Amino acid sequence: MPTELEHKDAIREVIDRFSNLEVDVAEQSKLFTPDAHVVVYNADGSKMMEFDGADQLVELFGAAMAGVNSSFHINGQQVITIDGDTATDVHYGQALLVQEQDGKDVLQSHSIRYIDTLVLRDGDWRISSREQHFVVSETREYLRARIDAVTAEPASRLRGAGSAVASVEGPRIGVLHFRKARLPSAVPIRGSVHKGVGELWKTSDRRD
CATH number at residue 73: 3.10.450.50
* Best CA proximity match to 125, nearest among 160, 84, 153, 164: 84
**Amino acid sitting at position 140:** R
Shared domain for 32 and 88, answered yes or no, is: yes
Sign of the alpha-carbon dihedral angle for 199, 203, 207, 208: negative
Look over the chain and give the mean of its residue pLDDT values, rounded to a whole number. Answer: 78
**CA–CA distance, 132 with 151 (Å, rounded to integer):** 47
Does residue 103 sit in the same domain as residue 204? no
Split at pLDDT 50, 70, 90, the class of 102 is confident
Domain stop point among 117, 141, 165: 141
* Residue 145 pLDDT class (50, 70, 90 cuts): low
Tell me which residue of 89, 27, 29 sits closest to 53, measured CA to CA.
Answer: 29
Q: What is the mean pLDDT of residues 139-155?
A: 62
Please check whether residues 89 and 114 belong to one and the same domain. yes
Percent of the chain's residues with pLDDT above 90? 57
Q: Predicted confidence band at 142 (pLDDT cuts at 50, 70, 90)?
A: confident
Q: How confident is the model at residue 114 (pLDDT cuts 50, 70, 90)?
A: very high
Does the pLDDT value for residue 160 go beyond 80? no
User: 150 and 166: one domain?
Assistant: yes
Residues 33 and 85 in one domain: yes
d(CA 3, CA 9): 10
- Total domains in the fold of the chain: 2
Residue 199 pLDDT level (bands cut at 50, 70, 90): very low
**pLDDT of 175 over the 50 cut:** no
Band of residue 146 on the pLDDT scale cut at 50, 70, 90: low
